[in-house]
Copies of this chain bind each other. A is one copy, B any other.
């Protein structure tokens, strides 16, 4: 059961409604009109809760769960405890997302402008927006309808924000243009002038950074992530891409659509990442690279060369994952042989 301080569940919903929501088939011998009141993890769920089983690591929790209903792949249905109502679907985690959104839809935004927010006269704030305490919206900013600007956010001159965006507390936006339904988490820094210096013994000379950050629709940027604006070209994050906390994107980086960039990844200047690429935690990419669509970069990889579309790389310097792991295994074998 969720903490009432923070969450309020809708519902209840019948098993039939849940099945329709997530496109699942209802298992045998269960009442389609039984009511469910909440979602819960396998270990905590009770008779009125819906849960999901998607990761085989948790097979024991599934077998022992008291959840009244559970989303599960048909191939794993046989492991279910007796009496559990099953919602059979090909992608149980995706199905759970839909069910959870049914119980916990995005809260309706109250269109209140805090008395301590400062909005410059030339800024335009769309209908239905909420602006929280201490937010600062600078000159000529344009904010679309139904946005939520969190407490103590700072939005610099000329920034454009599309409709239904969430800018969480203490974030900073400058020199950027955001599409619709973008979420910027707390403390993210978008659009500062990047690390552009002409290095030299007589002093590192700052190079004016004259581009922008373009963030397309449905992007999410994690807490305390940093995205520098372009030096002349723009920095770009393609539609639907999800970026985790503490990620660094340097100037002129272009990220394709639907990419996934996990926490603490760093991407150096002018590197291009194709659609649907996945970069696991703490990976680092040097500058001016081309990463193909659908490429997969393992955690902590150090990528110093182009990566082909669909290629999977790992290690530092990064190479094809199989070669990397073979190298690891080979060295272990040599050590064992000499060791003793």
Residue A187 at the chain B interface, CB threshold 8 Å = yes
Interface with B: A26-34, A74-82, A258-266, which one? A258-266
- Distance between Cα atoms of A185 and B197 in the complex (Å): 15
Nearest B residue to A171, CB-CB: B170
Asked whether A335 lies within 8 Å of B339 as measured between CB atoms, the reply is no
Asked whether B118 lies within 8 Å of A134 as measured between CB atoms, the reply is yes
Could you say which residues of chain B place their CB within 8 Å of the CB of A133?
Answer: 118, 136, 154
Asked whether B248 lies within 8 Å of A245 as measured between CB atoms, the reply is yes
Could you say which residues of chain B place their CB within 8 Å of the CB of A250?
Answer: 263
Q: Indicate whether A154 sits within 8 Å of B154 (C-beta atoms), given known contacts A222-B226, A300-B284.
A: no
A170 smallest CB distance to B (angstroms): 5
Could you say which residues of chain B place their CB within 8 Å of the CB of A331?
Answer: 327, 330-331
Q: Indicate whether A232 sits within 8 Å of B40 (C-beta atoms), given known contacts A200-B94, A242-B204.
A: yes
Number of copies: 3
Could you say which residues of chain B place their CB within 8 Å of the CB of A282?
Answer: 266, 282, 284, 302
Residue A84 at the chain B interface, CB threshold 8 Å = no
A322 smallest CB distance to B (angstroms): 9
Asked whether A96 lies within 8 Å of B207 as measured between CB atoms, the reply is yes
Residue A299 at the chain B interface, CB threshold 8 Å = yes
A-B CB contact pairs (8 Å), 7 listed: A5-B140, A134-B152, A185-B192, A195-B242, A206-B220, A245-B248, A323-B335
- Distance between Cα atoms of A75 and B129 in the complex (Å): 57
Residue A224 at the chain B interface, CB threshold 8 Å = yes
Could you say which residues of chain B place their CB within 8 Å of the CB of A258?
Answer: 201, 203-204
